[in-house]
Amino acid sequence: MYLIAGLGNPGKEYENTRHNAGFMVIDRLADMLGCEVTGRKFRGFVGDGRIGAEKVVLLKPQTYMNLSGESVRAAADFYKAEPDHVIVIYDDISLDVGSVRVRAKGSAGGHNGMKSIIACLGTQDYPRVRVGIGDKPPRMDLADYVLSHFTRQEEELLQEAVRNAADAVVMLIEQGPQAAMNHYNKIKKQEKEEEGSGR
């Protein structure tokens, strides 16, 4: 059994903002699995389905970003999910829009939602899928940037990243973190190399 948590902020005013990339991937997974993430539990919205032989629970914490760990910890405790079976999906300003990165474990990297989860789980040894939202423009406040919407030009790249992130979660569960890292962490690198070589 895997708990898959996508991070974001609740409420209409935050829909489709950069900080809600995790919610977008959960919605994509729900569509793929034919389930709805509408149940109210663990201070979040939940739904369940199957990926291969594994039962999975999809979670969208409704605690606001900086308290995400409280929702994730409550769900992990209820389902008795070990940290290596808790997958967290979240936005990352250090990655270009359209990029996806998979990691088996790691630090919070300055992300408030991840800081909360690490504090509540008591470990940083859990897999995560990072969705690139691009770095903030000079002189723009970081909080304003992550709560802003994607530009029209970025939308196509975002949708590609959401698809890839959802597929990366499936591969992570079916084949393990290393396989997912080997495949998805190379995609944008390869595209850049091909652009540089004039292909």
C-alpha torsion sign, points 6, 12, 15, 17: negative
Report how far residue 128's alpha carbon sits from residue 90's, in angstroms, rounded to the nearest whole number: 8
What is the Cα 110 distance to its own chain's centre? 15
Report how far residue 173's alpha carbon sits from residue 181's, in angstroms, rounded to the nearest whole number: 12
Q: How far is CA 175 from CA 2, 11, 184, 189, 198, in A?
A: 13, 35, 13, 22, 34
Annotation says 19 is catalytic: yes
C-alpha torsion sign, points 129, 133, 139, 141: negative
Helices (H), 66-186: 68-79, 112-121, 142-146, 152-175, 177-184
Question: Active site residue: 19, 85, 111, 149, which one?
Answer: 19
Supply the residues annotated as catalytic: 19
